[in-house]
Structure 1
Amino acid sequence: MQGFKPESETNKNYRTRTDNLLNFEIKAKLSDSLFFESQYHTTKKYLVADLVKKKKINIKLKLEPCEVWPSHSEEEKSTKLYVFIGKKIKTWVSPLGYCNGVSLDSRTLAKYLVIKNIYGDFKKDTIQFTSYAHSYPMEQNYIPFKGSFSEYDYCLLYVLKYKGELIQVRYLFDDIYMTKEGRWASPLKPKGLFHTISPDLFKPEKINFITPIEFEYEEKFEKQIKQNFPEAYTKISDGKITVNYGFYVEDLFEIRKTGRLKEYDYLIK
């Protein structure tokens, strides 16, 4: 538990923690307010002038309301796989809570417009699914390449049906962009990203994206940039990287079937 002054105070010296016996000391004026907070509890505010009137101060915080996430047994198999081009409508994250144990996973609810079915023939125009992922995903380090599907407007998404619930295949998605030919494609990623497709294993194609996939980098990272971006498929000059190659969505699905989707062979005809 912690006590500290109002948000108008920026001096971090006005913040303190309790000791092992839950006691604390803090310098404050009678006109100040103290805020008490603790993980998974609702923060409470007290006026110092009111606290000093008490012979004994005993602060008790209430537990925050907590949503219990559904459990998913590793022994039970999914019954359907949907692969589709999706346009983000809305995503919202369920906060980590005491009622879900010590799991470090985060839970994101997502609603998407189904632009095109690639596999599984989802029947509705919109889809709502749940994504479970580590709350601290691997850093991507390269803008515009981000760590979460929810940070993109359009993605090729892979969603399983499990006991009536739609769940995203963990950590698997491909950000996609429209090409000048009216097709959807994903740019080749730099080495080291967790969903990079190696050009040594699968040959990328020259892609004419409507909006060029390019970004700037700081000069101090130039050596790292040149090591991680395949030189044959990207243009690096004057502090700017342009990605000219990638994979069309139809080819992406075939590639993913040899990797992350391989454990779901029983769902793929």
Structure 2
Amino acid sequence: MNRILQILGILIFLISCKSSEIGQQSEFKIENDSINLYAFIGEKIAVIEFDPNENNTRIKIDSITGDTIRRMSYMMDNGFRNKYKVVRNIFNDLKTDTIEFVAYDHYGRPGFENYENVILYISLNKEKGYFYHQKYQYDVVEKTKKGTWKGLHGESIENLFNKKKKGVLTARGLFD
């Protein structure tokens, strides 16, 4: 009888340890394919600068006069091609383990490149078929000893995402 109680006690202990581990691993994630936004925890692979004004001349023929019109556009931002490992999807599913996207920054280099792990907010340019970074939007995150992710000030991933959602992402028209 005493032996059965010991085994039962050990079994209950092991089950409770496993269930608390599962509770800690519950991950915040939302899917809404009608919104052109992907938020994910990314691990930096590469950030490479490019000239966004290269090949910026479009040539058209005026339909009335037949004259050749050269249109030049100038971007006042620095351009960057970025490659990140997708550690975890937060909003919508990128369905890939690495992602490449472009980012533009008016002040120099993008702030997110200074950190190994960040939440990045990107959208798909459906006409041109590439992803672009939602300008200046990222959150620095770190992995805890328990294997969960949090912001630099202890914020949960859910809180970080919802702050962006209610603020700048709503102001940009991505959310109502």
Q: TM-score, normalised by structure 1?
A: 0.42
Counterpart mapping for 1:1-269 below 5 A? 80-95=36-51, 97=53, 100=56, 101-136=73-108, 148-163=111-126, 164-187=129-152, 245-262=153-170, 263-265=173-175
Q: CA 1:258/1:80 → structure 2, altered by over 3 Å: closer, same or farther?
A: same
| SS state at 2:158 partner | helix
How far, CA to CA, are the matches of 1:179 and 1:79 in structure 2?
A: 30
How far, CA to CA, are the matches of 1:99 and 1:135 in structure 2?
A: 22
| SS state at 2:120 partner | strand
Q: Which consecutive residues of structure 1, in runs of 5 or more, have no partner in the other structure? A: 1-77, 138-146, 188-244
Does the Cα contact within 8 Å between 2:53 and 2:75 map onto a contact in 1? Answer: no
Q: Which consecutive residues of structure 2, in runs of 5 or more, have no partner in the other structure? A: 1-33, 57-72
Query: How far off is 1:80 after superposition?
Result: 2.1
How far, CA to CA, are the matches of 1:148 and 1:177 in structure 2?
A: 16
Query: How far off is 1:104 after superposition?
Result: 2.0
Q: CA 1:168/1:98 → structure 2, altered by over 3 Å: closer, same or farther?
A: closer
Does the Cα contact within 8 Å between 2:35 and 2:174 map onto a contact in 1? Answer: no
How far, CA to CA, are the matches of 2:46 and 2:111 in structure 1?
A: 14
**More helix by percentage:** 2
How far, CA to CA, are the matches of 1:116 and 1:79 in structure 2?
A: 18
| SS state at 2:174 partner | helix
Q: Which amino acid aligns with 1:113?
A: K
Query: How far off is 1:246 after superposition?
Result: 3.0
Aligned length: 123
How far, CA to CA, are the matches of 1:248 and 1:134 in structure 2?
A: 30
Report percent identity of matched pairs: 34
How far, CA to CA, are the matches of 2:174 and 2:148 in structure 1?
A: 27
Greater RCO between the two (CA within 8 Å, min separation 6)? 2
Q: CA 1:152/1:179 → structure 2, altered by over 3 Å: closer, same or farther?
A: same
Does the Cα contact within 8 Å between 2:48 and 2:81 map onto a contact in 1? Answer: yes
Q: CA 1:96/1:129 → structure 2, altered by over 3 Å: closer, same or farther?
A: closer
Q: Radius of gyration: which is bigger? A: 1
How far, CA to CA, are the matches of 1:96 and 1:122 in structure 2?
A: 25
* Partner in structure 2 of residue 63 of structure 1: none
